[in-house]
Amino acid sequence: MRYLKAVLAALIGIQSEKNRRDDFSQPSPFGYIVVGIVTVICFLILLMLIVRWVVS
């Protein structure tokens, strides 16, 4: 849940300095990368579905 919160805040562009420092203090960025990729893929699929719905 921590990873998802950090990724969503980064995608929207709002994040406190404290949370950013906490995110960058983690030893491995692997969790953030995986959650980021999955989140972007889900967003793109949702966007495609909305466009198909509007066009039809």
- Round to whole Å and give the CA distance between 50 and 33: 26
- Round to whole Å and give the CA distance between 38 and 43: 9
- Round to whole Å and give the CA distance between 10 and 2: 12
pLDDT mean over 2-19? 86
Decide if pLDDT at 14 tops 90: no
Run of H or E residues at 19: helix 17-24
Query: What is the separation, in whole angstroms, between the first and last Cα of the chain?
Result: 36
Task: Kindly report the number of other CB atoms within 10 A of residue 9's CB atom.
Answer: 15
pLDDT, tens digit, for every residue of 17-46?
888 888 888 888 898 899 999 999 999 999
